[in-house]
Structure formats: structure tokens, C-alpha cells
Structure 1
Amino acid sequence: MRLKLILALSLFVCMTFSLAKDQSHHLARGRRRGVGPKRARKQTTITTLQQGRLPESNGQDGSIFIESYRNTKEPKPDYETTAGKSEHCVFRGITMYDKAVWSPKPCVNCLCSSGEVVCDQILCPALRCQLKFQRIGECCPICIDPVVDAPEYSGDSPVPNDLAEPYTRISESQKDRQKKDEQERIRKKDADRKQRKKQKKEEAERQRKLKEAKDAREKEEEQRRLREEEEERAAAEERKRRMEEQRKAEEDRARRLEMEQKEMMRALEEAAERAQEGLRGDEATEDAVWLRGDVFQMPPTRAAGPPLLALQEPTEPGGEDTEPGEEEPEVVEEESEMVTTLLPQGCSISDVTITCENAKLTGIPPLSIPELKSLSLQGNEITSIPAGAFNGIPNLEWIDLGKNKIVSSGIDPQAFKGLKFLSRLYMDGNLLEQIPSELPSTLQELKINENNLKEIEENSFEGLSSLVTLEMEGNLLSEGHVNSQAFKPLKELTYLRLSRNHFRTIPQGLPPSLLELYLENNLIEDISETAFNHTANINVIVLRHNKLDETSIAPLAWINHRNLESIDLSHNNFYLVPSFLPKSLVHLVLIGNQIERIPGYVFAHMEPGLEYLYLSYNKLDGDAVEPESFLGTFNTMTELCLDHNQLTSIPMGINEMTTLHFLRLNNNKIRHVSEDAICDPLNNDDSHLVALRLENNFLDPRKIPPTAFSCVRSYSSVVLKPQRIK
């Protein structure tokens, strides 16, 4: 047994020595032909493949290795070898032609041979030199000093010669082209990866912007809904209050009418008794004292007594006929003078006032009551006012013709001429297209709201030098159809309402006496420097619900006005609190705009200073208030409303307002109230805040410092609940 083992080892040593010798021989021959170490190594691999021996699989990953390398001491490589079914090879998803050579890893070469992939690890020769250098992209180092002896491979496997020829046919250009193709594929792959990464980033950015826009829209819709709900609640409360007031007024009027009717009945009974006593000695004549519906008749008293109001049908020839449906007055002829009084159906009389509201009258009723002072014909179907319509009531001081169907062509020029004491004329809700002409010079109040006025001519107000109040809301007026000289005769006009028209600019020619101007719900988008040049005494300007912004107001439009104390710019397009406000301003309303910032020193020039500032329902946030924003208001501010904004903290400067009584900060995003944010701990004056509202924020009442509200007169006036978080 030992003898057999010794023979086997001897045979193995001989074979190993023979293979090493052959390999050295072939490497030497390759160097003589001018082939470098690298080419010699490749030829060694190919020669080994072209031997008669077939490559064998390692049985694990399908790779094929040359049999002669089995005896080497190098570790087995972990690369893959794929066997194909045709002349082409598929390596890692890439199709290789037959005889193609490539290097999937450093120092590893692969060959496509008859549909099979054969890979081999390059063995570097042993170098006998002092200085070695390894080129970039190559596996083995080279000598840079003279070589003493020919290099030898470090392996023991012999290299056959009969497979070297196919390998030499692979040109260097093919290898370069394959290398370039591989580099190009890698570059394209990197470019595609970068492009996909860029697209993903852009898509993420676009999704983020869409989400932000959607959140902003939802937030704005929520704010608008809350604002509308609050406005609706306020409107409902206002309607309820007005209905209650109207009900109480109706009850009071009904009680007054009842008392007046009782008083009148008592007076009539007393007058009838006196008349009977005075006629007892006369011929027997039955005197009737009776009431029937709204018509009553009685004999006059001979004794001196209070004058009786009379409503009488005209009896002169050519007089107006009796209204249809009205009863003929009964006339009782007596030796003494008889007075006949008639009231139309649906009318009532009280002292010196006759009310015929919603009585379905189609014309001015013929009245003959010299003592009458007020006449209300509201809510009828009157279409015209003829000449002499008020001849029987020449002392009228107030006429209400609202909510009828009066047209301009139906008013006779002489209709109001005989009214020497008329001071108030209401013609709201009719169909007028022009200002009635020949109005009495004593007129002090004229209302023509909700009509079809399209033009105001130069002589429309001729002779109305005593007019104090003029209202023309809800018409079709614009600056191009209002003559600049139209208001010149109005020497005493102090109150002018032109709301709900079509004005784009402030109408020209406003009278110097004007104190209050109302232009809400128009289309005003510009205020020029000369808009208020002739109204130096104006005190109130209302411009809410227009199209103004901070750039549409000229710097000198009103800054030098010394009497302008109140401006309402609510529901416009302001993004900043406007600059160049009047020096005398006391009351500023900017509710319902898009205001994002209160610039510094915007109120600093005012004398004595702003007292009321309303900035509710805007877009003020944490950066909206600067340290100098409220400069000039510290000693005058009385009421400050900053509710329904996006404030994240208490604005700077509030703790310095020593006269502040009312502060609204509810419906914001405030999360913290510091000790000195609202009340100055160094101020020893008496408490001045009367009401403080902080509900609907993000506050935790337990984390509010105990001295934060020390300047509030009563803690019960601090509203903290509810909050948006618990």
C-alpha cells in the first residue's frame, strides 16, 4: 500500500514539473514574437481553452474552468459562467457573439466558445526587478528598470499551444469598441438614473405645490364660510332686532291710535251734547251724531272749541270726481255751517298726520285740511302727481311717496309749488329718471333712493339752497353723467349718499359744505389728488365694497385734511395698510381686505392720534407687525380689532397702549401669551382694558402667566373659551 502511494506521488511531481516547463517555454516564445506580458497572459488562457481537453463545470454556479487550473493554489473565483444553447452566449442579460472576449471583473477574462461562457482569472508573472509600476486599467504590474531574466508565471499549469491561434484573431479595435460600448451603456444608465431622479424630484415638488395650493384654497374657503356665517348671524340678529323694534313701534302706534280714537269719540260726544243743548229751543229737528266705517259727520258747535280737521270732497264745478269705491259724503244742511269730513279706505288720522300706507291708492287723495303737517302715502300704486294735488293741504312739512310707481313724466312742474313749508320729501322706490323740478326752496331733506336716475344736470338742484340731506342710492349714476356744476346750488348740503351706483371715481364738484360722503358698493378704483380739494370740512368718507388698493390712492388725496376723522375702506383690495392717511384720522375701518402687513410709522404722523382701528378678516400673520407699526397710537388707541387673522403671537406695541379699552384677538393662531405681551408690568396706572377676547386660538389657559392680564379691569371680561386644542 505504501509503495502505491509513493508511486502516485512521484507521478504527480513529474507531471507538475513537465507542465511548468511547457508553460515557461510558451511564455518565452510569446516574448520573442513581440507579445507583451498582458498579451502573453491572454494567449495562455486561450491556448488552454483550445486544447483537446474539455472544460468542466465546478457544479455550483454553472461557470466553466480550464482543467489545468484545478491544481493551482489560487482560491476559486465567484464569477458566473452561463451555458447557452446556440453559438451565441448570454452573460448577465447581454448577448455575446462566438469567440467574443470581455472582462467582467478586474483580472478576469471571459470567452464565448460555442455557446458556452468560459472565464479565467489572469495570473501575473513573477517580476525580478526593483521598481514596479501598474498601469491604469491593467491587472499586472510591469518593471520600469532593466529585467535580468525572462518573467515566469507564478502558476504551475501548462499552457497548450493549439488554442492560442483563435484568441490572437480578436483585434485590439474590437476590445476597444466593446470597452467604449460598455462605458457608453454605463453613461446612459447613469444619465437615465439622474433623469429619473430629477423627474421624481420635480414631481414631488409639483405635488407639494399642488397640496399647498389646495390647502390654501381650503383654508380660504373655510375662512370665507366662517365669515359669511358670522355675517349671516349678525344680519339675522339685526333683522330680529329691527322686527322687534318694528313690532313695538306698531304696538305703540296702535295704542296711540286707539287712545286718539277714544279721545276723538269723547270729543264728538261732548260736541253732540253741546249742539243738542243749543238747538233745544229751535224747531224740532233730529240731529244725528253717528259713525260709519271711516266716514263721520257731525254738526259744528256754536261755542268756541278746538278746530276740527276736515277731509272734504271738492264740490266746486269742475272738481275731481269721487274715487271709485269711496262712499259719497252725506251732507246735512242746517241753519249753522256744517263741515263734512271724509277719509279714504285704509287711511288713519292722528293729530296733524294722515297715514295712508298700503291703501291701494292710485292717485293723490283730494284733501282739505289746512292744519295737516305730515302725509304718508307709502306703498300704494300712485303713478303721477298732478298740479294742485296738495292745494287743500298747503302747510305740509313732510311727504312720503315711497314705494309707488311714479314716473318723471307724471310729475307736473307745478305739483309742489304751493308747499311753502315743505322740508322733507321722500320718493324712494319709484320709477324716476330725473330729479323733480320746481321743488320748494324750503326743502331740507330729499330722498330719491332705488329709482332709475341716470343723469344729474346742471340745474337739477336749482333753488335748493337750504337742502341739508340728499340721498340717491341704488340708481344708475356714474361720473360721466353727473355735471360738475350740479352740486353748486347746494350751499348747505352736509350729508350725501351715492351708494350702489356705477361710479369709478369720486364725483367732481362736491359742495364745500359737505361733511359726510357715502360711496359704498360702487366701482371706484382711483382717488386722485384733486378728489377732495373743495371739501376741506369733510368729516366722514365711506368707500367700502369698491375696488381700491394701496396704490390707487394719491399721496396728497387727503393727508392734509384737518377735519377728516373717519374713513371706511372695508372689503376692497388692500394688501397693506395704506400710507398717507389724513393727519386728523380717528376712526379707520379696513375689515375684509387681504392685508398682510402693517408698515412701520404708518400712523406716526397723525394728530392727536388714531383711536379706533378695525383690521378683522384679513391675512395678518406672525411677520405682519413691525416694532414701529403702532407708533403714534400708544396714547390714543381705544379700540383695536385684529380678530379673524393668522397671528401666531400677540403683536408688538399693544402693551404700550395706555388708553386701550377693547381688544379683539380671537380666531387667530396664537399659541402663547407672555407676561408682558398685553399688560406692561412696569406700568403702575389703573387698569384700563375693559374687554379682551382671545377665544378660538391655540392657547392652553393653564400655561398663561398669572400676571398676563393684570391691566384688565375684571377677569370676567377676558374671553378664553373655546380654544381649538385642549
Structure 2
Amino acid sequence: MMTCANFFLGLLLLRAFDAAPQPDPIYDTDIDFDDVYDYGEGPHIDQPQIEIGTILPIVDGEAQTSSLLTEEAEEEESTSKLIDGSSPQGPGSPGVLGPETSAGLPTCLLCTCMSTTVYCDDHELDNIPPLPKATTHFYSRYNKINRITKNDFANQNNLKKIDLTSNVITEIDEDAFRGLPNLEELVLRDNKIRQLPELPSTMTFIDVSNNRLGRKGIKEEAFKDMDNLRHLYLSANSLDHIPLPLPESLQSLHLQDNNIQELHEDTFCNVNDVSYARRALEDIRLDGNPINLSNTPQAFMCLPRLPIGRLV
């Protein structure tokens, strides 16, 4: 009895459900999926830049990065250039290391070239090596050079200083220095020179100390036209006189350890002009000479300082 009642109750409920009004379907509504899912730009990611170039060869698993241009630049930078910038032009001509010497080596390989200065000190040289044309200063001290020829400094128009201290020079050609238009300083001390050649009027500094000039080694009026000469060193040369006239520009005169026995009143001053003053000549050395400076006091009246030497 209870089973039948339950059956009819369920049937009534099913019919009631079917009879209830149903909502209309919404299938005709357009759905914008862009509103549902946000497809906007996310975080910006830089794309790698692609370089277009030559693919380098691979040798032993490694890329070769040097190029011909780089190699040429490095080679040019590392090569010692001749100081006058000339280039090799064939056998016998100046190359990047200077002209070839008698030893078969370029000058700037045998010696040391820095800018326009050439250093050949203490190299056992017996002659002067050929110099690059741009040389302004030349040092060849403590060698075995015994002669200076007229060709050693030919066409060296830029040369300003020559220092040949402590060689064994006995002879200098008369034209050895005459053709040097810019020569200012000449140092020939500690050699065996017997005759001083003609020097350019451009000289400012001359040092021929400790040589063998004697009484005839300096020409008459040798320094007269050197209007810019400031320092003249002639000590230890067995000189028996002071080489006159001396230029007004002279500041230092070293004549110590010679054989000078007398001094005239007009050696430095002008006896005819009592107002004459020689203010530039402040350093005169006559010590080591057999001369008594007290015998000629008038010889120093125009000088700013007395010479150094024996006064009694």
C-alpha cells in the first residue's frame, strides 16, 4: 500500500516540474573572447640584435679575430722609425733604422736614436757613423775615433750639437764643421787634437779642454766673428797666449793649466776708453798658469769680477 502511494507522489512531482516555465536560451548573444581573456602586451622582451659581418675562420677550434688592417697597424707602431721618417728605398739607402754603417748595421741599430738625437757612447767605434739627416744632437763619447773627415757631417743642416769627448782624435779636416749652418755646441775635450779647424760663426759653446793645441793650434782671430759665443773652454792645452779678440758675448773663459806667462792691459778691456765695461764676462780662470795677475791690474778694471789665478 505504501509503495503505491510513493509511486503516485513521484509521478505528480515530475509533471509539476515539466509544467514550470523555462528561461529562454542565450545562445544568440555574441561573446567577445577578448573580454574574457586579456591578450594585451605583457613585459617587453628585447630581441637580440643581429650583426651582419664576415664569418671568421675557425682554426684549432678558435675563431681568428685579427685582421689584416690590425696586423698592419700593429706592425707600423712597433717598428722603430728613422728619426727623419724616411723609408727603405733599396740597398745602400736610408731605411727605417737609419743609414748603414761600415759595420754593416743601420746607425739606429748600432747606436740609440731618440727623436732627433743619436747616442753612440762607448761602442768601440773607430769612425763616425753616418747620421740620419734630421739629427740635431750627436753624442759619440768614450770611443776610439781618431779622425774627423770633411764627409762625416756632410749635409747635416740640422745638426746643433756634437759631443766627441774622450776619443783619440788627432786630426780634423779643415772643412769638417764649416758646412754646418746650425751648429752651436762643440765638445772635443779629452782627445789629442793639435789643430782646431775653422768653426761656424753660429757657435755658442766650445769645449776643447785637455788636448794638444800648443802655441799654433788656434788660428789668429779664430773666435772674432762668433757674436753668440758664451762659453769657451781651452784648459790644459799648453797654450802660451790668450786667443784674441774675444767676442763681447763671452760669459765664461777657462784657460787654466796652460803656459800663459803674460797678460796685456787691453786683453779684456779698452785702454783708450776708461768708461768701457764688459759686464757679460763674469767667469775667467787663469789658475795653473805661470802668470802673476797682480802685475797688470788695469787689465781687469772693466770686468765685473777678477779672474781666478795667482795674485802674488
The answer to whether TM tops 0.5 is yes
| Cα distance between partner residues in 1 of 2:139 and 2:295 | 42
Counterpart contact for 1:314–1:366, Cα < 8 Å? no
| Cα distance between partner residues in 2 of 1:448 and 1:366 | 23
What is aligned with 2:103? 325
The 3 A distance-change label for structure 1 pair 375 and 342 is closer
What is aligned with 2:72? 276
| Cα distance between partner residues in 2 of 1:441 and 1:311 | 36
What is aligned with 1:538? 304
| Cα distance between partner residues in 1 of 2:249 and 2:212 | 26
| Cα distance between partner residues in 1 of 2:70 and 2:267 | 61
1:501 matched to 2:278: no
1:423 to 168, 181, 184: 184
In the TM superposition, residue 462 of structure 1 has moved relative to its aligned partner by 4.3
1:352 to 100, 105, 116: 116
1:308 matched to 2:85: yes
1:385 matched to 2:148: yes
The 3 A distance-change label for structure 1 pair 531 and 470 is farther
Paired amino acid for 2:72: Q
The 3 A distance-change label for structure 1 pair 307 and 498 is closer
Counterpart contact for 2:192–2:212, Cα < 8 Å? yes
Counterpart contact for 2:224–2:244, Cα < 8 Å? no
In the TM superposition, residue 499 of structure 1 has moved relative to its aligned partner by 0.7
Cα deviations by residue, 1:366-386 (Å, 9 ceiling, x for unpaired): 11232x221111111111222
What is aligned with 2:236? 474
Which has more radius of gyration?
A: 1
TM-score calculated relative to the size of structure 2: 0.62
1:343 matched to 2:139: no
Counterpart contact for 1:449–1:473, Cα < 8 Å? yes
Runs of 5+ consecutive residues of structure 2 not aligned to the other structure: 1-67, 270-277
Counterpart contact for 2:233–2:253, Cα < 8 Å? yes
1:363 to 119, 127, 130: 127
2:207 to 420, 425, 447: 447
Which structure carries more relative contact order (alpha carbon 8 Å, separation 6+)? Answer: 2
The 3 A distance-change label for structure 1 pair 453 and 342 is closer
The 3 A distance-change label for structure 1 pair 322 and 309 is closer
1:524 matched to 2:291: yes
In the TM superposition, residue 326 of structure 1 has moved relative to its aligned partner by 2.7
Runs of 5+ consecutive residues of structure 1 not aligned to the other structure: 1-271, 278-286, 301-305, 328-340, 550-726
The 3 A distance-change label for structure 1 pair 289 and 448 is same
The 3 A distance-change label for structure 1 pair 509 and 348 is farther
Counterpart contact for 2:187–2:206, Cα < 8 Å? yes
1:343 partner SS = helix
Counterpart contact for 1:488–1:509, Cα < 8 Å? no
2:247 to 490, 510, 527: 490
Paired amino acid for 2:108: L
The 3 A distance-change label for structure 1 pair 309 and 426 is farther
What is aligned with 1:669? none
The 3 A distance-change label for structure 1 pair 358 and 515 is same
| Cα distance between partner residues in 2 of 1:462 and 1:412 | 21
The 3 A distance-change label for structure 1 pair 323 and 448 is same
Paired amino acid for 1:389: D
| Cα distance between partner residues in 2 of 1:539 and 1:366 | 44
Question: Identity rate of aligned residues, in percent?
Answer: 23
What is aligned with 1:460? 222
TM-score calculated relative to the size of structure 1: 0.28
Matches within 5 A, 1:672-687: none
| Cα distance between partner residues in 2 of 1:276 and 1:323 | 28
| Cα distance between partner residues in 2 of 1:450 and 1:311 | 42
In the TM superposition, residue 288 of structure 1 has moved relative to its aligned partner by 6.9
Counterpart contact for 1:505–1:527, Cα < 8 Å? no
| Cα distance between partner residues in 2 of 1:495 and 1:289 | 47
The 3 A distance-change label for structure 1 pair 396 and 309 is farther
1:349 partner SS = strand
Cα deviations by residue, 1:629-669 (Å, 9 ceiling, x for unpaired): xxxxxxxxxxxxxxxxxxxxxxxxxxxxxxxxxxxxxxxxx
The structure with the largest helix share of the pair is 1
2:162 partner SS = strand
Q: How many residues align?
A: 228
| Cα distance between partner residues in 2 of 1:418 and 1:288 | 38
The 3 A distance-change label for structure 1 pair 454 and 433 is same
Counterpart contact for 1:373–1:398, Cα < 8 Å? yes
In the TM superposition, residue 464 of structure 1 has moved relative to its aligned partner by 2.0
The 3 A distance-change label for structure 1 pair 469 and 510 is farther
Paired amino acid for 1:366: P
